[in-house]
Structure 1
Amino acid sequence: MCETLKTKYQLSEEIGRGRFGTIFRCYHPDSAVPTAVKVIDKSLLADSTDRECLENEPKFLSLLSPHPNILQIFDVFENDDFLSIVLELCQPHTLLDRIVANPLTEQQAAAIIKKLLEAVVHCHRLGVAHRDIKPDNILFDSEDNLKLADFGSAEWFGDGEKMSGVVGTPYYVAPEVLLGRDYTEKVDVWSCGVLLYIMLSGIPPFYGDSTAEIFESVIRANLRFPSRIFRSVSSFAKDLLRKMMCRDDFRRFFAEQALAHPWIVSGGEAMNLN
């Protein structure tokens, strides 16, 4: 562990453990803000891809902070053996924990997706695509404010420029990524759409019994709304889902367009299209 970290912060109990390291609660003597430190053991990094992902986290968070819906970074310490990142402290449960038992109401889902899209719009305006939006990467602080986290797969994009490379998580990845095409920041909008679908229904829109079958389903992108599940979901919500998960990424909404959709603006009020 970095000695400079221990001279500046007081480390407390372990609150989490991941593939590459451990998360501790920590305190700065001159601040009342509760923080957490992610201590990464470099000896556990398997290859250059792992290193790039871990280097991305502080780099992109530093650019994007502060934003009310993006996890805030406070400090970074590094030596030959460890990388330590001091972050704002969040609740132990993610959005995944909130939706795993029961679908949310339209109003609850709209409130969450609005905050998430505000974070995504901020990222895209600064030329950053997250590329791995999923409920596991959505945290909540002590006051229940949404925080988009884990920018290990993030990438820069320029005006009109596209990205490449297969990254993301099976249920949430956009079809153009799996097809090996160059793609735009709209891959994040697709992932947000999948997340919204799951919040409203409790099931993913594209699924299979194996990763290969899930990918095949995503590539087909045959978006359906089973009547027994979506009977009480408004047509405005379904309209937004179609525009966020449009297989043709040219016609798919940008994050700003999704944020301006009437269903979001109304707070998820049960409206229906004529």
Structure 2
Amino acid sequence: MGICKSKKQNQSPQQVRIQHVKTANATDTVKESSPNNVAPGSVIIQSQQDFLMRSQELLTPDRQNTANKGKFFNTYTLLKNLKSPNEQIRQVCTVQHNQTGVTKIAIIQTHHYKQADLNKIQNKIQLLKKLDHPNIMFIYDFFIDSKQLYIVTENYDGGTLFSRLKSDNKDQSVSKNQLIQIYFQQIFAGLQYLHSIGINHKNLKPENILFQSQQNQLIKLVDYSNSRVKSNDDDLIEINYLAPEVIQKQQYTQASDIWSCGVLLYEIWTRSLPFQGDNLKEKKENILKCKIIKDESWNKIPPDAQKLINLMLNVNPSKRISAAECLKHDYFKNIVNYTDRTFVDDMLQRIQQYQSKSEFQKLLLSIMINKLMDEKEKEKLMIAFEAIDDNKDGKITKSELKKFLTSEKQRTLTDKIFQILDSNQNGYIEFHEFLLASCDTDKLVNKENLEILFKFMDKNQSQQITIKELKSLFIEARLTDQEWEQIFNQGDLNQNGKLSFQEFSQLLKSTSN
């Protein structure tokens, strides 16, 4: 992915920061410390609203620090190498976190970068770690040493775009057209989100569109361009998805991503590329002149899909359709977003219970979700989120929530539920806000996870967790020592400044739904 350079969206990482999971319900009070114990200059947190104003990035552990100072192999163990191009300089593999046992994907890239280039890469990764959308790759960890870069992401094992269509199309109950609609609605949803915060993907091609698992049709836009060095042999392959203006070395814009999507939509229908050529020069000329091959295979594409492809493959980038406009195109007008209504009822109940949890409980739950949440449970909530997010921009508005709630009883709860979820009161609900409030804590808070999390937080293996150890997980939280103490005291029952496993377990078990 790349940062958009246009004037309109030329924002700093701070300006485009995505606010992740926050606490809820500004009317609840936070436990106050005795005025006699207040340090000079400290600010007492009087309410959850104060807490939110002081800790906007507090609930994003593991995705804050730019590059870990520790060694990659002290944190992760390699499990299996996955097939990838340019294996001599880039290795993609499954890894296991040494403390939590959770499996993730790691991209290990040999580099010869100068320090200035490494600083740019770190800044880029820092921004990418803030992304918060169900159809966008999550980056959890990033390491650099003298020879290699290490990027740790979610685990995706559901196959690539084209391989998955082949297997999914065996299900006679769903047509090929319906599958492609489902796939591309998610692709455009992810792109619309990226473009809305000033990020261009810059590397859209089949192998960078993956499925979360074999059990669902949840798509993730991934990006290995950060850890890939292109060889000369790749030129003919890479040019297939490049827009004319990119080939001419002009500015890469959001419209350039849309061109790539047009090529992909053509290719998934015809199993061939829209621009052909016997050599690189001829293929370039056909792309620059926008000579789309419209043969018998083209005629088999549904008319609405043909119209959409033509709108995306316009040689003039200023006349190309946007990702948001793609989602509103007639090609997607009959698509149905489905989610289990019983699951929705249970989810709404959990959201209402969420407001009674303390800030400390929410902090601990946020770490468990990031590190220990079952992927299948997370996938269910991703699907529910996308079903509610009617315009697919990665944010849920109050009107979208109300539209999704079908019964009259549910609709009367719209304001209450929205207030709980929209914890930073910015007028919409982001994915990780939704995830934290709606997760099933009965499944999340089990004995095994409690032991794993306690050991993870107990950095010095003293069998107790201190305020210092808690703060180390939230290095960007702008809280005073007094504010940290107030939060910590919510779980420190004997007020000795340390949290035993018994206190820790009691605090988290009380969060069960």
TM tier relative to shorter chain: 0.7 to 0.9
* Residues 1:258 and 2:326 are matched in the alignment: yes
1:69/1:80 CA distance change after superposition, 3 Å: same
After superposition, the C-alpha distances for 1:47-98 in whole angstroms (9 at most, x for unaligned) are 99x979966873453132x321111111111122221111111127422434
Name the amino acid aligned to 1:201.
Answer: T
RMSD: 3.3
- Correspondence for 1:158: none
Query: Normalising by the residue count of structure 1, what TM-score does the alignment of the two structures yield?
Result: 0.78
- Correspondence for 1:159: none
- Correspondence for 2:280: 211
Instruction: Summarize the alignment of residues 231-242 of structure 1 with structure 2, pairs less than 5 Å apart.
Output: 231-242=299-310
1:172/1:55 CA distance change after superposition, 3 Å: farther
| Greater helix proportion | 2
Instruction: Summarize the alignment of residues 16-55 of structure 1 with structure 2, pairs less than 5 Å apart.
Output: 16-19=83-86, 20-29=89-98, 31=100, 33-43=102-112
After superposition, the C-alpha distances for 1:155-199 in whole angstroms (9 at most, x for unaligned) are xxxxxxxxxxx9x92111111222333352111011101100011
1:42 Cα shift? 2.3
Name the amino acid aligned to 1:34.
Answer: T
- Correspondence for 1:108: 179
1:24 Cα shift? 2.6
| Greater strand proportion | 1
Which of 219, 223, 227 in structure 1 is aligned with 2:292? Answer: 223
The percentage of aligned residue pairs carrying the same residue is: 26
In the alignment, the residues of structure 2 paired with residue 98 and residue 26 of structure 1 have an alpha-carbon distance, to the nearest angstrom, of 24
- Correspondence for 2:352: none
* Greater Cα shift, 117-126 or 207-216: 207-216
- Correspondence for 2:73: 6
* Greater Cα shift, 26-35 or 232-241: 26-35
1:59/1:204 CA distance change after superposition, 3 Å: farther
For 1:86, what is the secondary structure of its paired residue? strand
1:32/1:125 CA distance change after superposition, 3 Å: farther
- Correspondence for 1:86: 152
Equivalent residues, number: 250
For 1:38, what is the secondary structure of its paired residue? strand
1:176/1:24 CA distance change after superposition, 3 Å: closer
After superposition, the C-alpha distances for 1:230-266 in whole angstroms (9 at most, x for unaligned) are 3332211111111111112222101110111011232
In the alignment, the residues of structure 1 paired with residue 103 and residue 290 of structure 2 have an alpha-carbon distance, to the nearest angstrom, of 43
Name the amino acid aligned to 2:220.
Answer: K
- Correspondence for 1:187: 256
Which of 110, 131, 154 in structure 1 is aligned with 2:202? Answer: 131
1:56/1:198 CA distance change after superposition, 3 Å: farther
Name the amino acid aligned to 2:321.
Answer: F
**C-alpha contact (below 8 Å) 2:108/2:148 kept by paired residues:** yes
In the alignment, the residues of structure 2 paired with residue 118 and residue 151 of structure 1 have an alpha-carbon distance, to the nearest angstrom, of 20
Higher CA-based Rg: 2
**C-alpha contact (below 8 Å) 1:71/1:148 kept by paired residues:** yes
In the alignment, the residues of structure 2 paired with residue 131 and residue 238 of structure 1 have an alpha-carbon distance, to the nearest angstrom, of 24
Which of 115, 124, 137 in structure 2 is aligned with 1:71? Answer: 137
**C-alpha contact (below 8 Å) 1:4/1:77 kept by paired residues:** yes
